[in-house]
Structure 1
Amino acid sequence: MTTASRSTLRSNVHLLEPKAAAAISGGKAWESLPDDLFVIDGVAHTYHFAESNHVPGSYAKIFVNALWGIHEFYSPRADKKWLLDPKLRGMQDVELIAHSLFSESTIDACVYHSLPIYSLFKDGGGPMHIGQQMRERWPGRVILYAGMSPYRPDALEELDRLIEEEKASAIKFYPLDLVGGQVRGIRLDDEKFMFPLYERMLKKGIKTVAMHKAIAFGPLGHEFFEMRDIGPAATSFPGLNFEIFHGGFAFLEDTALQATYNANVTINLEGTSALIFYAPRKLAEILGALMMVGAAERIVWGTGVPVIHPQPFLEAFWNFQIPEDMQEGYGFPALTPAIKRAMLGGTQARILGLDTAKLRQQAQGDEFSRRTTLAAPWSRGGSQS
């Protein structure tokens, strides 16, 4: 928080169904987020999925409908106000995403991810310029991750451009790409395509490699969403941090093994965090398994906003508990306030070398630091341009 106390901000979230609230909080009293907590949402997207942006002849429409269905399935079912209006699924709007994060939620900063899905969407589906506009308008609140494909013939030149011109803090990759009409897999330990990019990143001072994992895109290439390629890459490049997204959603045991033996592997909870309402014990199992191997301070909170509004998930996580029977029966550690603080911002700040005090200072005085009440969800509407 910057100016207004969190306790003075109107909260709608704990008006959950009693059973859901009890499952998340372990039957303990629901607590508001502390005033001194600096929250960084580790993943924020803009989905430019309007039909005018679809690549002709592609399966873009199928992809959009599937993604929307996933978001709707995992949203807080007790209150539909948190789910974005389907008419805005093609949104391309700086105001909508920024206000959902900083005006309608108690999030202080975010990591904006551009999307390189050029086989389906003309601009990749989540263009970098939206994040750039956010960073320019609200200094101290937006960090940029740039998505790219290693199969580009000019991959090294594109990497340089993203770092030098776009000022990206990390480079994001995806397990599959469509190259010449064929599905091609991407492995982190690929010495031909990936290792030269890692070497260039280190030379340019970029130390985080981000990779989508665990949640497959469809019936093809499941092996590229597994974890076995992480270890060789992390071992070969100990100076890089490998941030794995959707960690634990699938392949939990392998994810825990990678975290056990590679101290430079970080797990981002985007997607996984959505389990908090639908399957809280599953989320407890994931967090417990990762914490049990010593990775508690290498877990990053992320929601993937928009579509799923960040605020209910944020407040629910602050009140989340590893059930006592799972602590006793599986040996899972307790999810303490100190660990939650790390997951909700401390770890992201550490791996990116961010000074949260400086970020607070940069954001001081902007329109969001002066808020005294949370705006209604999705209050800024949106554009499908």
Structure 2
Amino acid sequence: MIDDIFVFDNVIHLYDLSEANIRRDRADARPVLEQTLAEVKDLRWKGYPLHDDAQFDWGRRWNVDDMYDLVFRQAPTDMAMAQVVPMFDWFTDWYAPVTTQHQMAATYPDRVLFCGGVDPMLRGLNDALNQLDYQVNELGARSLKFYNGHAKNGDCWRCDDERFAYPMYERARDAGVRVLQFHKGNPHGLQNVEFLSPLDLQAPARDFPDMDFIVHHLALPYFDEMVSLAARFPNVYMSLAGYMAFYRIAPRRVQHHLGRLLQVGGADKILWGSEAALAGCPAPYLRAFMDFEIPDDMRAGYGYPQITRDDKKKILGENFARLMGIDIEQKKAEFAGKAQCSESTVATL
């Protein structure tokens, strides 16, 4: 916990950026990977020891020990969800593979939940449904992640497509999975950004009222559209998904966005997400969030509410725990006496 607040990280990824996982049949695979690594390098907060590029090889296959140390020992995280990134454009075994995400949850079942991921355009809808069944029924996936935008237009699909998307939602619901998650905005490489607009989630959110839809990255650059969806649909939520990394670079932008989210959607609709590993260790971002306030001039000029400690409790853990059926007080009792953060990390925070 941080300042006695339970931290449930909505999204961590055990990426596989190794040479073995890069597709040899795609000439753009290596340039896109290098571009991605350069972008996240600029976002990781400088001066934090675990963000030193001289010490860490970020472009590799992340393993369970690496991730546990980064997220739990070096940061005050209590629980997290390891999420598959079902992106096949440049990778032979997904961007964040099923195997390693499941291994993380299987190794630390008290602290980590497994989020699976499928794509109907890889080997067809039937294969995606079979994979969905396997991930939920055999591997214990508690949620599913979708990435409908791709580098080739022919590989893209809409989240409101009743031919491809709805059968996956229905299969997930039949298997007992009620929380679906979507990468929106934040395109990679030369992907068409319009396929990553969140507007195609309106129909599913309306047609599946008994399911919850989590949208990552605030759907930037579709922020206004995303705020509208979250405000209007009771089952649509937003994951910060590494967003606090921007706070040191562009604090006014983050203050504006969070102020708007609190004003229109409310704290109940926001989930904490670190986006570790590539965003770096969650520790400095968590501290920044705990110290975060909406400036007086923005409150006066835009009517934004001040963020409260209760808001932070909801965002850091309570909201996602509610969606996933986790009893925080029970978890606190379970974890009592089990030290996670190193003493040096606690002192830093």
TM-score by length of 1: 0.83
SS of the residue corresponding to residue 248 of structure 2 reads: helix
SS of the residue corresponding to residue 81 of structure 2 reads: strand
Is 1:158 equivalent to 2:158 in the alignment?
no
- The runs of 5 or more residues in structure 1 that have no matched partner are 2-32, 378-385
- The 3 A distance-change label for structure 1 pair 230 and 370 is closer
Residues 263 and 304, structure 2, Cα contact 8 Å, conserved in 1: yes
Measured in 2, the distance between the counterparts of 1:365 and 1:123 equals: 39
Residues 185 and 221, structure 1, Cα contact 8 Å, conserved in 2: no
State the match for 2:38 in structure 1: 69
SS of the residue corresponding to residue 115 of structure 1 reads: coil
Q: Which moved more, 1:325-334 or 1:355-364?
A: 355-364
State the match for 2:82 in structure 1: 112
Measured in 1, the distance between the counterparts of 2:327 and 2:139 equals: 20
Measured in 2, the distance between the counterparts of 1:300 and 1:340 equals: 10
State the match for 1:140 in structure 2: 110
State the match for 2:313 in structure 1: 341
State the match for 1:356 in structure 2: 328
- The 3 A distance-change label for structure 1 pair 183 and 314 is farther
SS of the residue corresponding to residue 125 of structure 1 reads: coil
SS of the residue corresponding to residue 24 of structure 2 reads: coil
Is 1:311 equivalent to 2:283 in the alignment?
yes
Residues 75 and 83, structure 1, Cα contact 8 Å, conserved in 2: no
Q: Which moved more, 1:254-263 or 1:271-280?
A: 271-280
SS of the residue corresponding to residue 198 of structure 2 reads: coil
Residues 76 and 341, structure 2, Cα contact 8 Å, conserved in 1: no
Give the one of 101, 107, 110 matched to 2:71: 101
Residues 163 and 169, structure 1, Cα contact 8 Å, conserved in 2: yes
Residues 116 and 145, structure 2, Cα contact 8 Å, conserved in 1: yes
Residues 45 and 245, structure 2, Cα contact 8 Å, conserved in 1: no
Measured in 1, the distance between the counterparts of 2:154 and 2:251 equals: 35
Runs of 4 or more, structure 1, over 4 Å off, are 78-81, 83-86, 361-366, 368-373
Measured in 1, the distance between the counterparts of 2:71 and 2:295 equals: 29
Measured in 2, the distance between the counterparts of 1:126 and 1:252 equals: 25
Give the one of 206, 212, 218 matched to 1:235: 206
Give the one of 198, 206, 209 matched to 2:180: 209
SS of the residue corresponding to residue 10 of structure 2 reads: strand
Q: Which moved more, 1:262-271 or 1:52-61?
A: 52-61
Measured in 1, the distance between the counterparts of 2:198 and 2:262 equals: 18
- The 3 A distance-change label for structure 1 pair 182 and 330 is closer
State the match for 2:95 in structure 1: 125
Give the one of 320, 334, 343 matched to 2:292: 320
Measured in 1, the distance between the counterparts of 2:210 and 2:43 equals: 36
Residues 174 and 186, structure 1, Cα contact 8 Å, conserved in 2: no
SS of the residue corresponding to residue 209 of structure 1 reads: strand
- The 3 A distance-change label for structure 1 pair 79 and 362 is closer
Is 1:54 equivalent to 2:54 in the alignment?
no
1:118 CA displacement: 2.9
SS of the residue corresponding to residue 118 of structure 1 reads: coil
Identity among equivalent pairs (%):
29
- RMSD (CA atoms): 2.3
Residues 117 and 132, structure 2, Cα contact 8 Å, conserved in 1: no
Higher relative contact order (CA 8 A, sep 6+): 1
- AA aligned opposite 1:76: W
Alignment: residue pair count: 342
SS of the residue corresponding to residue 176 of structure 1 reads: coil
- AA aligned opposite 1:54: I
| Cα displacement string for residues 50-89 of structure 1 (whole angstroms, at most 9, x for unaligned residues) | 1122121223222221111111111223446424545342
Measured in 2, the distance between the counterparts of 1:294 and 1:74 equals: 26
Measured in 2, the distance between the counterparts of 1:374 and 1:285 equals: 29
